[in-house]
Amino acid sequence: MTIRIGYHAQNVLGTKLEPCSLAPLTGYYRTGCCDTGAEDTGLHTVCAVMTLEFLAFTRSRGNDLSTPMPQFNFPGLKPGDRWCLCVLRWKEALDVGCAPKVILESTHKDALRFVSLEDLKRHAVKSEQKK
């Protein structure tokens, strides 16, 4: 894990990256934020609100996010949970019409390397919801 002294990640709106979820604890580094670094080859940068449709979609693509895996301290996700998704999985879901809603304030600016701010805004929900 890379330690970032004085590091202040930004979200897609150009402001400070806000936490995505502390329960369940998310993020590549399990800090609650969709922060990223060289180790995060999947770019877990999109803070998304899980839906049944998206959970079924990602399971069909080989990434089961619903089943608990206690050996990895992973509780399994359910609709309404927030999770830091790989940006390319979110884009894949977008392309087939089942992208989950996103929290812009909690989505890392590096997501913009692969998806447009306009697409993210079309799928945005307010950050005041459950963290």
* pLDDT tens column, 98-126: 999 999 999 999 999 999 999 999 999 98
* The total number of structural domains that make up the chain: 1
79: in domain: yes
82 within a domain of the structure (yes/no): yes
Instruction: Summarize pLDDT for 46-61 with one digit per residue, the tens.
Output: 999 999 999 999 999 9
Does residue 118 fall inside a structural domain?
no
**Which range marks the domain in which residue 97 is found?**
7-111
pLDDT of residue 84: 97
Distance of CA 118 to the CA centre of its chain: 17
Whether 121 maps to a domain, the answer reads: no
Q: What is the CATH number of the domain that holds 78?
A: 3.30.56.110
**Cis ω before 68 (30° cut-off from 0):** no
Task: Answer yes or no: is 129 within a domain.
Answer: no
Asked if the structure places residue 117 within a domain, the reply is no
The one-letter code for the residue type at 14 is G
